[in-house]
């Protein structure tokens, strides 16, 4: 029996009729039975379901993989926070050899004290110029992405060094002016981290890092679309400025994702309060998010349509870190965007 599904197919997004007897599909008019998308790829997540990457053991990370698979994840980059080299080494040393773990994302410590967000300020340092305790981490072949501030002393040299190793560099937690952001780009940075958040904002006399991210069509720009970090109207500006293939949805999730609201947790030495799909320091500062990429997908689908959601959550993230393997997972949704089936692909 033929089945009609919505997905981003060879003729663009729309309804396609699948003929299983011929292994063929054709574009058709009218509504589809279900929506089918590739698995999610999250390049910025600190943990979820009560598990924090910086303090977890190997078995807990393996459990996290299982739980993220249940909500549609194909792969992800466990992401550090600003900490000592010793603490980061410990965190990456316990990463299991698991097909969902595509490497790791080093967020900090080479960031701006002006825009730390919830990053522990006491551990922020300048990029290393000579031999340092960070060398083993920076040369680790699993390092796929680093968030840093391009205006810090020694940052441009480190950007060039890491690009030569194949690492992607993201400008974030930064006070970079438009010119300094361009210098970072010219040195090799081609991402911005959670765009709008923890970076020099757009101003009519100095466009800042945000202005640079919006103007440079080659930059991959992360967006946390939990409707807390970025409002719908700002996201509208973002989507109008950025090419469709350069928007990368991220969860920036913490251990609070999947936890009940009202709980108090300690993350990275900081007391945090879990809210409704959000987590904040006690002073009200957002401390990462409490969503998964499934939540971001649903929000984007509702506010900007299915094609935007598919590109941002499923396709662009893998391209942004040169993850070129064919999808290994597909997600089938019903009309309420509830997961009907997860299909492992050969």
Instruction: Point out the residues that are catalytic.
Output: 252
Residue with tokens 């981003």: 8
Would you tell me how many other CB atoms lie within 10 Å of the CB of residue 222?
26
Cis peptide before 238 (omega within 30 of 0): no
Reference 117, options 270, 312, 233; nearest CA is: 270
Rounded to 10°, the helix 208-215/178-187 angle is 50
Question: Is the CB of residue 226 less than 8 Å from the CB of residue 289?
Answer: yes
Question: Is the CB of residue 253 less than 8 Å from the CB of residue 46?
Answer: yes
Residue 54's alpha-carbon distances to 106, 305, 342, in angstroms, are 11, 35, 29
Per-residue DSSP letter, 253: B
Strand partners, 35: 6, 333
Q: Does residue 229 sit in helix, strand or coil? A: coil
Residue with tokens 């990029």: 127
Residue 22's alpha-carbon distances to 18, 30, 32, 37, in angstroms, are 9, 22, 19, 21
Strand partners, 26: 17
In degrees rounded to 5, what are phi and psi of residue 290? -125, 35
Distance CA(38)–CA(310), nearest Å, equals 8
């Amino acid at each position: 029996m033929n089945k009609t599904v919505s997905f981003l197919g060879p003729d663009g997004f729309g309804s396609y009729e699948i003929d299983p007897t011929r292994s063929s599909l054709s574009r058709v008019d009218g509504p589809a039975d279900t929506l089918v998308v590739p698995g999610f790829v999250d390049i910025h997540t600190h943990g979820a379901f009560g598990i924090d990457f910086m303090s977890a053991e190997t078995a807990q990370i393996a459990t996290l993989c299982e739980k993220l698979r249940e909500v549609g994840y194909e792969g992800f980059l466990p992401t550090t926070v600003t900490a000592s080299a010793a603490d980061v080494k410990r965190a990456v040393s316990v990463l299991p050899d698991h097909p969902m773990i595509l490497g790791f994302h080093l967020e900090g410590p080479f960031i701006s004290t002006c825009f730390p967000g919830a990053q522990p300020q006491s551990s922020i340092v300048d990029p290393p110029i000579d031999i340092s305790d960070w060398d083993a981490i920076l040369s680790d072949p699993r390092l796929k992405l680093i968030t840093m501030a391009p205006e810090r002393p020694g940052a441009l040299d480190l950007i060039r060094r890491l690009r030569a190793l194949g690492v992607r560099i993201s400008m974030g937690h930064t006070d970079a002016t438009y010119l300094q952001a361009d210098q970072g780009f010219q040195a090799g940075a081609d991402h911005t981290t959670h765009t709008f958040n923890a970076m020099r904002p757009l101003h009519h006399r100095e466009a800042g890092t945000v202005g640079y991210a919006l103007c440079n069509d080659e930059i991959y720009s992360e967006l946390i679309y939990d409707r807390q970090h970025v409002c719908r109207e700002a996201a509208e500006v973002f989507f109008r400025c950025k090419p469709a293939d350069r928007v990368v949805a991220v969860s920036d999730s913490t251990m609070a994702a999947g936890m009940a609201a009202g709980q108090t947790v300690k993350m990275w030495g900081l007391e945090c309060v879990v809210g409704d799909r959000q987590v904040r320091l006690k002073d009200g500062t957002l401390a990462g998010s409490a969503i998964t990429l499934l939540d971001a997908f649903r929000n984007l689908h509702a506010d900007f349509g299915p094609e935007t959601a598919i590109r941002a959550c499923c396709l662009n993230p893998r391209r942004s870190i040169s993850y070129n393997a064919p999808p290994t997972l597909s997600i089938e949704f019903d009309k309420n965007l509830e997961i009907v089936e997860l299909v492992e692909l050969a």
